[in-house]
Every structure is written in C-alpha cells, then in structure tokens.
Amino acid sequence: MTTPESQNLEYKETWHDEYLKWICGFANAIGGQLHIGKDDKGNVIGLHNAKKLMEDLPNKIRDLLGIIVDVNLKTENGKAYIVIKVEPYPYPISYKGTYHYRSGSTKQELKGAALDRFLLKRQGKTWDGVPIPKVKPEDLDSSVLDQFRTMARKSGRLDESVLNEKNRSLIEKLRLFDGQYLKRAALMLFYSDPEQYVTGAYIKIGFFRTNTDLLYQDEIHGSLFTQIDQTLEILTTKYLKAGIRYEGIQRVEELPVPKDALREALLNAVVHKDYSSGSPIQISVYEEKLMIWNTGSLPESWTKKTLLGKHSSQPFNPDIANAFFRAGEIEAWGRGIERILTVCREAKIPTPEINLESTGLWVVFPFSRGKDKTTQETTQETTQEMILKMMREKPSITRKELSGILQITPDGVKYHLDILRKNGVIRHTGPTKAGKWEILK
C-alpha cells in the first residue's frame, strides 16, 4: 500500500528543473521528501536516467538553492527511483530570487505580505518589532502616553519610578526600541496617525439591515489605545440596543453584549491583527448579532482551548500585546477568548461563535433577550432625541453641524433625519442651506 502525498511528501514521474521549487518549499517549511520515478499515487514506474540524476542533482541543488540534501537511489521490483530528502532550514531559502513554501500538499510562491511575514519569522522578528526610521520619540502623542501611564498605575504592572520617567525612557522600558529606532509597535500604540505608515490601521463600523443594506457607518482612527476607547464608546451609545428589565422598582439596562466581553474582543482583534494586510478591522452590527472581523487569528495555545479545534499560524504582535498587558487591558496572553466566554456565560447569554477562514477571523455575538426583558430602548432613539433638542435650540442647524456635535457621519445624520421625517416628527422649510427645522410632534 502506497503512502499518499502530504505536506512532506511529493511524487514526480521524471525530473524537471522546476522541481527545485518544490525542494525550496520543503526547506522553507517543515522539510520533506521528493520521490522521482513514481506516479501521483506513489507507484514506482522507474527512471531510465537514474545514474545521471544521482550525479547531477546534489550539485544542482547546492548551486541553485545553496543547501545540501540527501539524494538516494532506491529500487523496487527492479525499477529505479530517487528519494531526495530535504531538512527544514532555519533561514530563508530562495530559488532564483523567489521564495516557495510547502503548505498542505501544494507548493506556494510567497509574495507580498505573506513573504514579509515569512522573512520576518525566519529572522526571529514579528511585524510589530520591525524598526521605523522616520518616527522619533518626540513625534509620539504625549496625551496617549499619559493615558497609558494612568492605566498602568491603576493596573500596578509598572513601577511608579518607570511611569514618572520621560517619554523616551518609558518607551525604552517597554522595549519599543530596536537599536536607535522605534519599533512599529510604538508607532501603532502612541502615534496620533499610524495610517501615514500603515495602510488600513483603523476600525470600520457599519449598521446593516441586511448583508447588502448598509444604513450608516463610522470609522475610528488614531492610536490603538484611542481606537479601543472610541470604538467601545460609539458601539455602546450608537449601535447597540439596551434591553430594559426591572428588579423590584429599580430599572436595569443591559446591552446585548456585555461591555467587558466586547472590550476583550476588540483587544483581541487589535493585538492579533495581521497589519501587513492593509485591511481595517471591520465590525458589522445587525438587529440580531454583532460581528468582528480582522485579518488575523488566534495563537495556537488559544485555539486548542476554544471553538476552533485546530492550530493557527497567523501572526501575533507581542510588543503591542505587552503594552496592553502593562496597561491592565489584557489579563494574560492566551486568556482573552476564555474571558469572553466566561463573561457571556455569567450574563446568561449565548457564547460567541468563532470562525477561522482563509481571509481572517470572525467573532460573532448573537443577541438574545431574557423573558423578563420586556422593552427595548435603542441608541437610535437617544440620538434622535438629541437631534430634536438641538433643533429646538437652533432651528437653522445644518446636517454638518449635527454630524460634528453627535460625532457620527453625515450619512448617519441623514438616516435619523429621514426616520424623523417619515414619522411626521419634523419638517424642513425654506432653502436647503438657509432654511429651518420645524418640530411637529
């Protein structure tokens, strides 16, 4: 019985020099064997030029790939075949300037972000540990650094003497320098506009009626600490509906996703995102669920304990994670998903679904209301009440002014105005730019 092809086994009927790419792929992955003289099912069909290949292949592989492999001549039922055994190499191996990698039973040419991640990994570096020559410590946002100091004092995970030091010394103690240059992590954590250097380093939120019907959306920019706080604020005040129940005469409001679970999910997305992808973290809110997507995954130690049930090899940003840990934002590496599940169970709501896809990771929070939650009070209604209040104070107020005061997009303002018009609550009289609002109800 023959052994089927796998991540470390490949069969070829004859030799062609392009198969050097397969050897390159084995060397860059976990190693493997290339059998020459077998069909794709592993049956020996023999080689007529086995002797010459035994002489040529070791030198050709050494000269073109720069590695030494075992090349052995085998026979079965009088038919010759060659086994090329390749060991995994600790440094990147290229074939004529291209890098190949064995994944599953296929070979892939590494390009773009995938190549960057591979090269960094072989150099013992992570994406967030790469130095950035153009950003200096004095370019970092002092207000965000002060916010970090406040959080770290509360967490008690940094000595007071360290927190009292100047910004440069604090950054050094957080190990956010690589030689004389700041690491990418420092840029992401404390720079006011990391998108100048990292495309897609922001969070995008949208409220959907259906998958294709987007009602309104927002984008959250700035440092990662700023993004976490602002995203949590806008989700809980604009996008999520608060359920209401009563304990005796006391009114209790509850979000469909506990705030602690939501914060933990946001932190996971930020810490484990593959920032080389150029895509923002995306949060999709529906009437019945909230979905968080990012081009990243979970560390292997997490996936074994949670819902995925398989290993993950997506990048992890340890320098960014360390800063959030020191600030008390994350309890310990590898515990985030467990904490989300625990919080949801304690709140007696459905635990989130975690779906790992080729393009990234989805965390899906389904909404569920208890039987004693009789009514809902939505943030949409609160927003509309604020709009009416401002119209009473200033009937000539413009959509742009409302957008700035409410901190929502002009499209979001238009959505609320349309609802108020449709329900006969307001109307606009006079010219578009110089008219005024009238409140009818």
CATH number at residue 316: 3.30.565.60
Assess whether 155 and 241 both reside in one domain: no
Structure tokens at 136: 């200096």
Last residue in a domain, options 366, 389, 405: 366
Single residue among 366, 394, 429 that ends a domain in this structure: 366
Output the pLDDT for position 309. 36
Residue 422, in any domain of the structure: yes
- Domain assignment present for residue 184? The answer is yes
User: Are both 190 and 234 inside the same structural domain?
Assistant: no
Let me know if residue 115 belongs to a domain. no
Whether residue 311 sits in one domain with residue 230: yes
- Supply the CATH number for residue 76's domain: 3.30.950.30
Query: What is the model's pLDDT at position 276?
Result: 85
Q: Are residues 382 and 261 in the same domain?
A: no
Do 386 and 352 share a structural domain? no
C-beta of residue 89 within 8 angstroms of C-beta of residue 29: no
- Say whether both 82 and 142 belong to one domain: no
Q: Which of 308, 337, 366 is the last residue of a domain?
A: 366
Q: How far is CA 316 from the centre of its chain?
A: 9
Task: List the domain range (segments joined by +) for residue 209.
Answer: 203-366
> One-letter amino acid identity for 111?
K
Shared domain for 353 and 230, answered yes or no, is: yes
pLDDT recorded at residue 84: 96
DSSP 351: P
Domain count, the chain: 4
CB burial readout 59-78, b (16+ within 10 A) else e = ebbeeebebebebeeeeeee
**In this structure, are 162 and 89 located in the same domain?**
no
Tokens of 53: 């290949």
125 to 117, 150, 178, 270, 346: CA distances (angstroms): 9, 30, 11, 19, 39
Residue 62 falls inside a structural domain: yes
218 inside domain: yes
Spans of the chain, pLDDT less than 50:
300-315, 370-378
Do 156 and 208 lie in one domain? The reply is no
The answer to whether 377 and 242 have CB atoms below 8 angstroms apart is yes
Closest CA relative to residue 354, chosen from 301, 407, 311, 291: 291
